[in-house]
Each structure stands twice: as C-alpha cells, then as structure tokens.
C-alpha cells in the first residue's frame, strides 16, 4: 500500500487540529458553554491549567482562577459553576484549607462566584439550575470567607 505525501499532510493536519482544540471538561470539571464558547484556544488552555492546579490544592491557582477573565454576564456564572464543582470534588474542608492560605484581596469576589455557581450551575447534573445558597451548602466556608474579610479590613 502506497501512502502519498498528500495523505500524510492531511492526516497530520487533522491530528493537530483534534489535539489542539478547546476542551470543555477537565478532570471531571465541566466548563459550561457560555464561558467555553467565548474563549480562545490560549485562554481555554490557561483555564484548564488553573482548574488542574486548584484541584491539586494550589492556592495561587485558586487566586488566579478567581480573577480569570470570564467575559461578564453568563460567562462569569459559568466560572462560578467551575468553582463550585471544584469545592464539591475536593470537599468543603479541603477547599477551606486552600482558602486559608489566601489573603482578602485574593479571595475578593470568591463568595460571589460561589453564589453564582450554586444558584445557576447544575452541580447535581439533573439538567436544571440548582438554585442553592452558600449559607446552606457551604456554611463553614462562608464563615471562613467572612471572617477573613472582616479580620483584614484596614483600620480607619
């Protein structure tokens, strides 16, 4: 069987295209469509890297994930959904260990992302928005975030 240079070239192009495409799932963490569709390949790679690092309990990755550009609106709800999936996957206590290493500037906005992810995400995978609340779903984490924010307020 003879393989032409053209067939090799086409196979190479198809292979590179398939391996370099954006991905909407990382280690069981789903990137919802609004955030996923608005990302460049480079942004998608960076987000996937931050998700993996956060799952490995890297507090700097969580801080960067918290500040990741989500495009506003529904894309930010999708980013919140990513954060809540990470909390469920790691467990509230392990996630709190990561948050404990962050300063108040690094966790600024984290509560809002979690609230959005719980309310609009589909963490229980039933095809519907969950409409859950942080105070009932992650009460210890909420307490930790509020305490950290209160303790690091500048004196006036």
* Residue 155 pLDDT greater than 70, yes or no: no
pTM of the model: 0.83
26: which 2 tokens? Answer: 């990382």
Residue-wise pLDDT tens digits, 47-91: 999 999 999 999 999 999 999 998 888 899 999 999 999 999 999
Cβ contact 98:104 at 8 Å:
no
Cβ contact 81:117 at 8 Å:
yes
The angle formed by the CA atoms of residues 73, 132 and 46, to the nearest 5 degrees, is: 45
Q: Hey, how many other C-beta atoms are within 10 angstroms of the C-beta on 24?
A: 16
Picking from 81, 66, 69, the residue whose alpha carbon sits closest to that of residue 33 is 81
């Amino acid at each position: 069987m003879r393989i032409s240079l053209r067939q090799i070239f086409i196979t190479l192009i198809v292979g590179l295209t398939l391996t370099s495409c954006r991905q909407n799932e990382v280690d069981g963490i789903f990137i919802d469509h609004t955030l996923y569709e608005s990302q460049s390949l480079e942004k998608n790679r960076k987000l996937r890297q931050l998700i993996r690092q956060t799952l490995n309990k890297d507090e700097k990755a969580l801080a960067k994930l918290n500040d990741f550009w989500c495009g506003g609106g529904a894309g930010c709800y999708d980013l919140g959904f990513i954060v809540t999936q990470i909390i469920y996957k790691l467990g509230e206590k392990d996630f709190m260990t990561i948050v404990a290493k962050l300063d108040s500037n690094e966790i600024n906005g984290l509560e809002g992302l979690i609230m959005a992810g719980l309310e609009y995400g589909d963490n229980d995978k039933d095809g519907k928005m969950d409409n859950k609340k942080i105070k009932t779903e992650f009460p210890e984490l909420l307490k930790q975030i509020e305490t950290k924010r209160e303790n690091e307020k500048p004196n006036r």
